[in-house]
């Protein structure tokens, strides 16, 4: 299906720039210009509010509530009440009135509108001239979330009027915000104002959490009055703007989110010193810290593209939002499918975190990658409870979660998709391959793998005549095949992860009798697991080199996916639900997915055969699908296809290809765009001990450079039309194509 | 799993008798003693109310409302808002106070409690002595729904006090009743009282229906006062009971249910004459009419059992409730799974109506059987809309419905179970085989079959290589196998029904060009349908004589169902939802179901092989399952098993084997009990032109007699230990075993 770009921002290598106001793109802009610092995220809504369509969204990582009602027909194993990240206190809210007119960009007359997000420091600036009567008032908004002081946010609003005018401005903390536009999930705590300070404190009704937003307004003006209402605190200023003279208001905010509820006093004890330090240090210092933070992050892992400014801007946009959303701040954070930029997908993390996001972090910072894995360690108990709920043992990781519990109420996904669990196993293996972090394995990894593998074994079943083992009644990565048996992805990943675990058990470096005992492993279980792995049914035909996606896939009615009229997409909206599931059409890579994950286990011939069989059957109705296809197409020399699948990867949101950027950014697709370049064009392969690259230059670029944090080194690869320039600041080994290279410093190859 | 009888009623051939009050069985009694006349049903709740657990339930056939909220994730083809039969005005409500004490059988002291339902006339009598202080007041309640005047109900309450006492008694129409205990689905219309008359009129908010209950109280006493409140109307009496002198109150009620809303005036215009005639004619006449009605029904179709009083009472109980629930009163009525005796299953009719209930009516009254089929004719448009909703053409009949629209919000059932549609086709064929009703076929049947077969063809698919046709992504009758391909039941029924339709198209007696044109049939479609039927995949192995339940069933992991601990039943409550679906365990007959429906197409050898393969895999977690097994076991000479499966069939509710009779009666299991005797022990086979019987006598009976209305004749078969006595009042042909018999009058065989 043809996707169409809607490009309304300027092209710039490191900035997002909106010149002239685009009211019809208001909600898209709210997502694109969103700020986050992992701890907190705010959409780029107008602080003064407006009558335009808008999602006033403020979210905290890990602050969640539960559904108000039970799922109907919640049989055993079906989620009874899901949880989700909730919209929280709007700490940026203002009301601006000049000469009796209230500012509302949906109605007010403005000119020279400009909005700029600098991706080198995360400062968001918006300015325009407001035409009030015959006056013109230039207003500039600045907004920043501190990357180094997670609880600190900053806002400034400055006014320069052509002629004298009267200004009323109110700064509010608004805790009445509705989630999904229909319910405020916060219980009232308390409100307070005094002079230029105010706070609102609230608690969650069922999850025992809290939030306190404390603000201080700084200005040459004095507050006129202040007030509190239920869940709201407001400070009013009123005065005259002199012609041509700037008046500025700065708001420093300290937000204390209690994932485990903090009392009002406890919250204040944290909020006050943070606020006071921020006020003392001032905006310039906060901005400098942000600038240093981003510079350091980009230094470790960066992609720079020459020859296609749109791609360059696109990939920087991806990196910026990846860093904003997650950089390993807390061990119990994760990456929501929409980051902290909207309510769609409920703030849930999926197996995308391990499969699509982890690689970027692996090559960015060992600590961050480890942190992402620790989320799964800290939610091991929930995963064990979930396995029990499914009448299995060990640990079953959820398909969608924020707190470690399964949150997806659709049984056909939550009860039958095994890949989140095998993905955690794969992620541990991937991390260990790159970092050989024995301490991690001993402290966390081994225990997780024991429970993961126990689940993978217990969910599997022997066939009728006990000749083959595998998974019955599953949905593989491809969500268009429901309740199938012997999905090859699921079987193969199960076998791989269990065998990896059994290998560790045999390895004296990791073997830990007390953990084995705790996880209920004994010789009999180990023998049974080994037997099952040996008998795992892998539907492979040596003659055709094809893996059958699941038992019976080849017999399914055929659909020519190219013949489906474009207006029938997305199929979930236009096709009867059951009809989607009874053809050989697939939604996203399934066989191709394990050919990517364990790439070097398979010959190019196998990859070519399966690519050519499955790609024509795939409709890519997941934003994660094209990148995997692009990577494999590149590998087998289908460069045009690779480039075509890469197509809009870096600009999926920037150009709103999916028509839903208004709801929030596609964070995991953003990570997939990084993978597409690094595993695709650069040809990186990282699942074996020695890294491999096989760089190619997409025809539409002049050159590109990829910087990777690899073990202790910073490795950079510059791919030019005629040269390949490698550099490492420490000695590293890697394959370039099939040639093993010992790199220390720079090395140039002619192409 | 062992089922345990809880028997607390007296055993009597034609009556239900409760001697001594069983407060712990209160809700079970409310179901067992329930009255209905197809138009209306009332549970046997105490009219005076009580503090005991109780479901005050009054239901009207076809009076429905819709769910208050949308189904979550209602993708295309998934029911957005289901409908259900709603609890309605309680027209029997009274309040009884004697000497300041209010009657409440949960608290009051009583003795000599007796409750009797006479299954020969449908009169429910309850009497007991209420000990009030040192007084004893004998109270007798009588209740009747007229079988001949559907809108008329009757109640009488009489008092005889040992000593003088003061009685306050109020008669109420209560329209505030809550459905599912939590919401009144009725909008207020109006209320009225004057002298000894009152009415309440209400309307439904979304389905545009109405109900008016008009009552008149007759007594030697004069009303003291009356009042109305919102949705309620009450008439109060107050006076002194003289020692030993009976005082009686009679309430005549006329209930006008408007399936299409009637105004208050229109309703009154119908209610008043009916009420006045009932008052004029009086109770004795109403009772006589009922008595005649039941006598006539039993005369046409009856089972009498000698030698097992419990079975005799059980089968009479079944027949009584079948007649009460449905006797062809209106063409748009159907048979809810719980009749009109509760709220479970939402008043919905399932494919049970055609598959389990129709046979009884076929052998009871042609008009009733035809009427049951006409429900499907009158809901053909809804079935066509449903097919469209599922991206198919033709008519798809719903898995659960009251108004013809699909009401089941579980996609895994509603979107994938094809058998309701093929069951309607089968029912038409069955009716035609018995009655050769050409007018019916021309006026209704042909059109239905054209649409049914079009759907069955359009829902089917060709396999990948276009070598076989069949159904993908279906659930067969066995609800433990989800989203399977080539379910043999579904494929075979599809083939049979399409081929039956193609035969009719070729038959000049029925062929109707304008209907063919209307249904979009042309030569090409007909040819394609024929080709598809020819290629229909039927998974049969000539060597083993086994049909595979679906493609891949033989490879499924095996479960020894006998090893499942009894406390794990019902599995839906104790097993993870997905776990139920990935074994070779089945819930109910699937292959055995079509071996029953098209029984004479298959040899005993085939039936034996499949019975022996599938029965051990079946857990009978449907109350409809044992009867089919019993019938086939009998056929292949497994008489002990047949008797064991018959076991509690006639007394499933009477002895509360499933522990949920409190929620209402299992109407379709009641019909299955009839089938169990007639198709099982009597060995009736009726799917071919000439009837066949093959009578056997269960060892625990002395003899039994089955009366069947067959074509124009009344055919009776008495099976004794030593004799078989056949009688027909008109000449009929039938096979007795393999011998063709021309029967006219009586014929006796020695056994």
* pLDDT computed for residue B1 by the predictor: 47
Residues A660 and A25 sit within 8 Å (Cβ to Cβ): no
Chain A interface test: which of B473, B491, B558 (most A C-beta within 10 Å): B473
Q: Name which of A71, A576, A583 is nearest B76 (Cβ-Cβ).
A: A576
The distance from CA B717 to its chain's CA centroid, rounded to whole angstroms, is: 26
B579 closest CA partner among A90, A727, A409, A77:
A77
Chain B touched by A72 (CB under 8 Å): yes
Residue B515 tokens read as: 């209907």
pTM over 0.90: yes
Q: What distance in Å separates the CA atoms of residue A551 and residue A542, rounded to the nearest whole number?
A: 16
* pLDDT computed for residue A13 by the predictor: 96
Alpha helix locations (H) across B147-263? none
Q: Please give the average pLDDT of every successive group of 10 residues along chain A, which has 751 residues.
A: 80 97 97 98 98 97 94 92 97 98 98 98 98 97 98 98 98 96 96 98 97 98 98 98 97 98 98 98 98 97 96 97 97 96 96 97 98 98 98 98 97 97 98 97 98 98 98 98 98 98 97 97 98 98 98 97 92 95 97 98 98 96 92 97 90 90 94 97 97 96 97 95 97 96 96 84
Residue stretches of chain B with pLDDT short of 70: 1-3
Chain A touched by B559 (CB under 8 Å): no
What residue has token string 């035409």? Answer: A131
Alpha helix locations (H) across A210-263? none
Q: Which residues of B185-199 are buried (b: 16+ CB within 10 A; e: fewer)?
A: bbeebebbbeebbbb
Please tell me the distance in Å from B78's CA to the nearest CA on chain A.
Answer: 7
For A243-288, write each residue's pLDDT tens digit: 999 999 999 999 999 999 999 999 999 999 999 999 999 999 999 9
Chain B touched by A567 (CB under 8 Å): no
* B188 Cβ contact list (under 8 Å, min separation 6): B175, B202, B230, B231
A695 closest CA partner among A710, A708, A680, A707:
A680
Please tell me the distance in Å from A409's CA to the nearest CA on chain B.
Answer: 9
Q: What distance in Å separates the CA atoms of residue B488 and residue B553, rounded to the nearest whole number?
A: 11
Q: Which residues of B touch A581 (CB under 8 A)?
A: 473, 483
For B546-585, write each residue's pLDDT tens digit: 999 999 999 999 999 999 998 998 899 999 999 999 999 9
Q: Read off the DSSP letter of residue B52.
A: S
Instruction: Name B741's bridge partners.
Output: B734
Cross-chain residue pair A573–B76, CB shorter than 8 Å:
yes
* Residue length of chain B: 751
* pLDDT computed for residue A110 by the predictor: 97
Q: Are strands B232-241 and B165-174 parallel, antiparallel or unpaired?
A: antiparallel
B203 closest CA partner among B270, B259, B150:
B259
A-to-B residue pairs, Cβ atoms closer than 8 angstroms: 127
* pLDDT computed for residue B2 by the predictor: 55
Domains and CATH numbers, chain B: 33-67+81-299 (2.70.98.40), 379-537 (1.50.10.10)
Q: Which residues of B touch A482 (CB under 8 A)?
A: 473, 483
Cross-chain residue pair A557–B462, CB shorter than 8 Å:
yes
Q: Are strands B165-174 and B94-98 parallel, antiparallel or unpaired?
A: antiparallel
Cross-chain residue pair B73–A410, CB shorter than 8 Å:
yes
* pLDDT computed for residue A462 by the predictor: 98
B532 closest CA partner among B475, B593, B455:
B455
Residue A372 tokens read as: 């992402």
A77: nearest CA in chain B? Answer: B576
The distance from CA A377 to its chain's CA centroid, rounded to whole angstroms, is: 19
* pLDDT computed for residue A491 by the predictor: 98
* pLDDT computed for residue A370 by the predictor: 98
B75: nearest CA in chain A? Answer: A577
Q: Name which of A392, A472, A557 is nearest B556 (Cβ-Cβ).
A: A472
Q: What is the ipTM of this complex?
A: 0.93
Chain B touched by A554 (CB under 8 Å): yes
């Amino acid at each position: 299906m043809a996707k169409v770009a809607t490009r309304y921002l300027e092209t710039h290598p490191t900035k997002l720039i909106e010149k002239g106001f685009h009211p019809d793109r208001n909600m898209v802009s709210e997502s694109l210009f969103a700020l986050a610092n992992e701890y907190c995220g705010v959409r780029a809504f107008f602080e003064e509010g407006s009558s335009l369509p808008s999602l006033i969204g403020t979210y905290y990582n890990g602050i969640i509530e539960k559904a108000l009602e039970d799922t109907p027909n919640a049989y055993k194993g079906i989620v009874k009440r899901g949880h989700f990240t909730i919209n929280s206190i709007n700490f940026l809210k203002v009301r601006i009135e000049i000469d009796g007119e209230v500012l509302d960009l949906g109605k007010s007359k403005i000119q020279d509108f400009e909005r700029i997000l600098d991706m080198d420091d995360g400062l968001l600036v918006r300015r325009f001239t407001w035409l009030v009567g015959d006056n013109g008032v230039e207003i500039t908004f600045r907004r920043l979330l501190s990357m180094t002081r997670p609880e600190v946010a900053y806002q400034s609003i400055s006014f320069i009027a052509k002629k004298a005018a009267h200004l009323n401005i109110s700064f509010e903390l608004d805790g009445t915000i509705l989630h999904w536009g229909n319910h405020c999930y916060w219980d009232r705590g308390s409100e307070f104002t005094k002079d230029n300070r105010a706070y609102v404190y609230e608690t969650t009704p069922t999850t025992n959490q809290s939030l306190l937003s404390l603000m201080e307004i700084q200005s040459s003006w004095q507050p006129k009055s202040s007030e509190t209402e239920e869940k709201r605190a407001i400070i009013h200023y009123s005065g005259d703007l002199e012609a041509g003279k700037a008046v500025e208001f700065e708001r420093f905010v300290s937000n204390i989110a209690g994932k485990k509820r903090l009392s009002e006093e406890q919250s204040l004890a944290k909020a006050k010193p943070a606020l006071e330090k921020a006020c003392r240090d001032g905006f310039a210092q906060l901005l400098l810290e942000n600038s240093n933070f981003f510079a350091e992050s980009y230094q470790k892992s960066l992609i720079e593209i020459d020859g296609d400014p749109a791609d360059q801007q696109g990939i920087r946009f991806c990196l910026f939002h990846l860093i904003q959303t997650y950089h390993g701040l807390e061990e119990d954070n994760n990456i929501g499918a929409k980051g902290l930029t909207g309510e769609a997908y409920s703030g849930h993390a999926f197996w995308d975190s391990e499969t699509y996001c982890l690689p970027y972090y692996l090559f960015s910072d060992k600590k961050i990658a480890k942190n992402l894995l620790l989320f799964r360690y800290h939610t091991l108990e929930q995963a064990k409870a979930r396995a029990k709920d499914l009448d299995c043992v060990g640990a079953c990781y959820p398909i969608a979660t924020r707190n470690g519990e399964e949150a997806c109420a659709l049984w056909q996904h939550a009860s039958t998709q095994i890949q989140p669990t095998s993905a955690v196993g794969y992620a541990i293996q991937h991390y260990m391959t790159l970092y050989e972090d024995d301490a991690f394995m001993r402290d966390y990894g081994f225990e997780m793998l024991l429970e993961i593998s126990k689940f993978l074994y217990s969910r599997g079943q022997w066939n009728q005549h006990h000749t083959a083992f595998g998974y019955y009644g599953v949905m593989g990565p491809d969500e268009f095949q429901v309740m199938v048996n012997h999905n090859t992805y699921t079987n193969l990943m199960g076998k791989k992860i269990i065998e990896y675990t059994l290998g560790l058990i045999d390895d004296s470096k990791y073997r830990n009798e007390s953990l084995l005992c705790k996880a209920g492993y004994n010789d009999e279980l180990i023998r049974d697991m080994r037997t099952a792995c040996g008998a795992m049914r892998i539907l492979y035909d040596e003659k055709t080199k094809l893996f059958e996606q699941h038992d019976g896939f080849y017999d399914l009615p055929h659909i020519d996916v190219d013949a489906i009229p474009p207006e029938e997409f997305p199929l979930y909206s236009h096709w009867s639900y059951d009809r989607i599931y009874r053809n050989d059409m697939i939604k996203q890579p399934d066989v191709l997915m394990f050919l990517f994950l364990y790439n070097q286990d398979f010959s190019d011939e196998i990859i070519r055969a399966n690519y050519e069989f499955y790609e024509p059957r795939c409709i890519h109705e997941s934003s994660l699908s094209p990148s995997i296809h692009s990577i494999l197409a590149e590998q087998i020399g289908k460069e045009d296809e690779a480039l075509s699948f890469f197509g809009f990867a870096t600009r999926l949101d920037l150009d709103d290809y999916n028509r839903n950027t208004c709801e929030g950014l596609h964070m995991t697709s953003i990570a997939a765009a990084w993978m597409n370049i690094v595993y695709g064009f650069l040809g990186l392969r990282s699942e074996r001990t020695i890294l491999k690259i096989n760089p190619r230059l997409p025809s539409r670029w002049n050159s590109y450079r990829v910087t990777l944090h690899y073990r202790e080194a910073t490795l950079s690869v510059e791919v030019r039309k005629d040269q390949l320039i490698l550099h490492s600041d420490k000695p590293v080994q890697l394959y370039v194509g099939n040639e093993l290279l010992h790199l220390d410093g720079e090395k140039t190859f002619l192409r």
